[in-house]
Amino acid sequence: MVVNRLSWLIGGAQGSGINVSAEVFARACKRAGLNVFSNIEYHSNITGKHAYYRVRVNQKKIHSPVDRVDLLLALDRETLFGDVDASHQTHRGHVRQVEPDGGIIYDAEVGVTPEEIGRDDVRLYPVPYGEVMKDGLAAGGVDYEPRRHDIMRNMISVAASFALLEMDLDVIVDMLRERLGPDRQHLVGLNELILNATAEYVYREYGTDFPVNLEGREAGQDSLLIRGCDAAALGKIHAGCSFQSYYPIAPATEESEILSSVQSEYPITVLQGEDEIACMNMATGAAHAGARAATATSGPGFSLMGEGLGFASMIETPGPVLSVYQRGGPSTGLPTRQSQGDLRFAIQPGHSEFPHVVMAPGDVQETFSLTFKAFNYGDRYQVPVIVLMDRFLANSFWTMDKLDTDGLVIDRGEFFDPEDDDYRRHLVTESGISPRSIPGQAGGQFVTSSDEHNEYGKISEGILNRHDQVEKRMRKLARIDQESPATDRWELHGREDAELTVVAWGSTKGAILDAIPAVKRMGMTVNFLQIKMLWPFPREEVRPILERANILVLLEDNHDGQLGQLIAEETGILIDRKLLKYNGRPFSQNEVEVGLCDAAEGEAERIVVSSERMAV
């Protein structure tokens, strides 16, 4: 039987190779022409704590995790049964997540018995990892050396999965041959020995009775398996970003590492600063010098950048673009966990009032497109731009056919006309946008100051000047509101007359889109209002949609429902029914399905998704 969908989970101690196993499995499924979604949950320490990686495979497009598991791979006892950590919070194990008639692959040498697992409705596949590895290497005339060969144990998990799913191991071998490079081709042969030995063992001991059989399609190699941090980096390169500063912080660092790795191929300089304050000011200086400049950080670093953001806005820098990857807070909080808790701070990221733009992509395509467009907004309106992402979006993988570049045209905004003899950098204009120059442009010499200044950039505390300069700067927000296309600001997914309207922003988009068909099957029509530009808020476009909705449900990854608060302030509309989650884990499709149905039935105004079953 071919059932072209699978939920696969591998768990083990951090540092035991689950990342490699899961990513090899995901990439191999992608190469087989299937759609893939995958994400990892891990502790902020280096090694030892329990971590797990989920991979969903489907012939249809998928965008989010699910809680139930068809095939569980356990590298240790804790993955199966759970444990109690230092705070005495019980992790109950993943055995209970396995679907009836699902399977559990585990290392037989761990000493687990079927009676301990306690599930007579699932299929058990104990595999002696060490024995299989020795036999596989021996078949190739290689003596087993633990310190040399144990690094390849993770291939056993992948091979056992492929054997049960009746998938071709050659896909994995070909992928390893390409990815390992010319200096490590000898490892391809060793891995192939272990892969074949594992598959032979599984076929011999268990046959091919697993009820899921993934059948690939042609031309899978051309699709992408891409994370949000990859898409953000590509968006910056495509937009002509030539300077990026950063200070290492999870989960933002990977974006800068990607950009750093291609400095020899693209005209971009990536510089690690001594702290986030320096990084913000470096990016502001580079933007003032004519570069398309950016920086990237997470919550604690974003807090340090507040003064620099105000400075950039006061001196009307064209940018910079600031990528903020949200994580659990406050303070260092949950460094490797999920949150949408920085929205209110992003709207007011420093003292006093100043114009800036806040955009929030919901998937990898929007991450690429909105990151590109952020530079245009920065240049055209001479304001800093915040692209608000999160840990889930940064580190999860999605399959895509390609990144769409249609309509992405670089716009550097207006420049000073050299024929104008009187260059006033902070000229009061009706649009709020003053002329600007770049260093070396004839007639473009000017001064500016973080203190209030007059049109020539010289410090001034004059009453009328202060009034005019504040009004001028703030007029930029109205201009952005009028000129930015609706597609950059909001999107209504589904029919306008739906019975239930879900309101959300950012990376919750995937789980909502995946959940909507199930809610529809329960007899309810659903649409989804996605807010992409949080500031300036698209109040005039959004208010009519909210007013005509029959049932409104707010869905957010934070405690207070921060988007709901913003909507109330901007439109006067209160969304009473809320589906909220703030335990550091992303929404799953299942949670959204159940939560929306409960909210629609009016069982509670505030539904908190605790996901205790996933508290690991």
| 320 domain residue, yes or no | yes
Helix (H) or strand (E) holding 205: helix 186-206
Residue 218 is predicted with a pLDDT of 54
Q: Are residues 117 and 45 in the same domain?
A: yes
Question: Are 192 and 62 contacting, i.e. CB atoms less than 8 angstroms apart?
Answer: no
For 141-151, the pLDDT digits (tens) are 998 887 788 77
Residue 614 is predicted with a pLDDT of 39
State yes or no: pLDDT of 607 exceeds 90.
Answer: no
* 8-state DSSP, 340: -
Give me the domain span that covers residue 296.
229-396
| Strand duo 551-556 + 577-580: pairing | parallel
Q: How many residues does the chain have?
A: 616
More confident: 611 or 126: 126
Q: Are residues 339 and 426 in the same domain?
A: no
Q: Give the pLDDT band (50/70/90) at residue 208.
A: confident
| 404 domain residue, yes or no | no
Residue 194: both structure tokens together = 């272990």
State yes or no: pLDDT of 87 exceeds 70.
Answer: no
Q: Is 290 left (phi over 0), alpha (psi -120 to 50) or beta?
A: left
For 405-417, the pLDDT digits (tens) are 999 999 999 999 8
Token pair 């019975």 in the structure block, residue: 499
More confident: 212 or 393: 393
What sign for the dihedral angle of Cα 565, 567, 568, 574?
negative
Q: Give the pLDDT band (50/70/90) at residue 54.
A: very high
Q: Are residues 50 and 101 in the same domain?
A: yes
DSSP letters, 18-76, are HHHHHHHHHHHHHHTT-EEEEEEE--SSSSSSEEEEEEEEESS---S--S-EEEEEESS
Q: Are residues 508 and 480 in the same domain?
A: no
Number of domains in the chain: 4
| 520 domain residue, yes or no | yes
CATH number reported for the structural domain that contains residue 148 in this entry = 3.40.920.10
- Burial letters 421-458, b for 16+ CB under 10 A, else e: eebbbbbbeeebbbbbbeeeeeebebebeeeebbbebe
State yes or no: pLDDT of 616 exceeds 50.
Answer: no
State yes or no: pLDDT of 221 exceeds 80.
Answer: no
Q: Helices 18-31 & 170-180, crossing angle to 10 degrees?
A: 110
Q: Are residues 478 and 442 in the same domain?
A: yes
Q: Are residues 281 and 152 in the same domain?
A: no
Q: Are residues 213 and 252 in the same domain?
A: no
For 436-488, the pLDDT digits (tens) are 998 888 888 778 999 999 999 999 999 999 999 999 999 999 999 999 999 99
Residue 464 is predicted with a pLDDT of 98
Residue 613 is predicted with a pLDDT of 41
d(CA 282, CA 272): 10
Q: Are residues 446 and 511 in the same domain?
A: no
Helix (H) or strand (E) holding 126: strand 123-127
Q: Are residues 116 and 233 in the same domain?
A: no
Q: What is the mean pLDDT of residues 591-599?
A: 92
CB atoms within 10 A of CB 177: 16
Q: Are residues 197 and 280 in the same domain?
A: no
> Which of 211, 133, 64, 188 shows the shortest CA–CA distance to 514?
64
Residue 43 is predicted with a pLDDT of 87
pTM recorded for the entire structure? 0.94
d(CA 509, CA 530): 7
Q: What is the mean pLDDT of residues 507-531?
A: 94
Domain-ending residue, one of 176, 202, 222? 222
| 443 domain residue, yes or no | yes
Q: Give the pLDDT band (50/70/90) at residue 125.
A: very high
* 8-state DSSP, 379: H
Residue 144 is predicted with a pLDDT of 85
Q: Are residues 75 and 195 in the same domain?
A: yes
Q: Are residues 278 and 175 in the same domain?
A: no
| 407 domain residue, yes or no | no
Q: Which of 12-21, 127-136, 302-311, 373-382 is least confident?
A: 12-21
Residue 301 is predicted with a pLDDT of 97
Domain-ending residue, one of 175, 192, 222? 222
Residue 385 is predicted with a pLDDT of 98
Residue 1 is predicted with a pLDDT of 47
State yes or no: pLDDT of 572 exceeds 90.
Answer: yes
Q: Give the pLDDT band (50/70/90) at residue 420.
A: confident
Residue 91 is predicted with a pLDDT of 64
| 402 domain residue, yes or no | no
| 96 domain residue, yes or no | yes
State yes or no: pLDDT of 168 exceeds 90.
Answer: no
Helix (H) or strand (E) holding 345: helix 343-347
Q: Give the pLDDT band (50/70/90) at residue 223.
A: confident
d(CA 483, CA 434): 17
Supply the mean pLDDT for the chain. Answer: 92
Residue 615 is predicted with a pLDDT of 38
State yes or no: pLDDT of 31 exceeds 80.
Answer: yes
Q: What is the mean pLDDT of residues 80-100?
A: 77
Question: Are 197 and 135 contacting, i.e. CB atoms less than 8 angstroms apart?
Answer: yes
Q: Is 240 left (phi over 0), alpha (psi -120 to 50) or beta?
A: left
| Main-chain dihedrals φ then ψ at residue 448, nearest 5 degrees | -155, 170
More confident: 519 or 92: 519
For 291-349, the pLDDT digits (tens) are 999 999 999 999 999 999 999 999 999 999 999 999 999 999 999 999 999 999 999 99
Question: Are 388 and 326 contacting, i.e. CB atoms less than 8 angstroms apart?
Answer: yes
| 406 domain residue, yes or no | no
Residue 13 is predicted with a pLDDT of 86
3-state secondary structure of 490: strand
Domain-ending residue, one of 454, 484, 514? 484
More confident: 527 or 110: 527
